[in-house]
Amino acid sequence: MARSNFSRIGLFAAVFGALALSACTANDATVVSTNLSTDSDNFKVPRRVVLYNGITDQYIQKVEGFCSLQPSTLGDVAVVCKTDFGYVKHIWKMGDNVTVFVEQLDPKQVSSSFYTVVFKPSVIIPNIEIR
């Protein structure tokens, strides 16, 4: 039993060490971009997401708030936004003439010298339902 826990700790230390070493080779812009993306995906950065039709030159839809953009290989884009009452999700099927762009509304202070790592216990530890 103790050996199994030792193996897990060793694996965690190896992964953490690899992440630390990979951070040494990144330039400041890459680190800042990664940290902004992490904060955005954790609903800490206000954004404006716009769907734009290139043929009609009109906005199709605009979403503003603390939103995370999740593109898919299936040709659709999901936007998940945090509200005072919970979360909402919009899914757009993309066409040839539609462009999506995301604008960060306010500046955000993030580090340019190290990566931000976020551990969420609710993701690591499964939710067990007892019936």
The answer to whether position 110 is within a domain reads no
Q: Are residues 52 and 88 in the same domain?
A: yes
Q: Are residues 100 and 51 in the same domain?
A: yes
CA distances from 78 to 5, 24, 67, 81, 129 (A): 38, 33, 10, 10, 28
The answer to whether position 113 is within a domain reads no
Contact 39, 110 (CB under 8 A): yes
CA distances from 82 to 43, 94, 114 (A): 7, 23, 27
pTM score above 0.75: no
Q: Are residues 61 and 90 in the same domain?
A: yes
The answer to whether position 9 is within a domain reads yes
Its domain, for residue 89, covers 45-104
Separation of first and last alpha carbons in the chain: 29
Q: Are residues 30 and 50 in the same domain?
A: no
Q: Are residues 37 and 49 in the same domain?
A: no
Per-residue model confidence as pLDDT tens digits over 66-108: 999 888 777 788 899 999 999 999 888 888 888 888 877 887 7
Q: Are residues 52 and 98 in the same domain?
A: yes
Per-residue model confidence as pLDDT tens digits over 20-57: 555 555 677 888 888 888 888 889 889 998 888 888 88
Q: Which strands form 58-71's sheet, in the order they lie side by side?
A: 86-93, 76-83, 58-71, 46-53, 98-104
Q: Are residues 29 and 7 in the same domain?
A: yes
Q: How many domains does the chain have?
A: 2
The answer to whether position 14 is within a domain reads yes
Identify which of 28, 44, 31 has the alpha carbon closest to the alpha carbon of residue 108: 44
Q: Are residues 26 and 64 in the same domain?
A: no
* CB < 8 Å & 24+ apart, contacts of 124-130: none
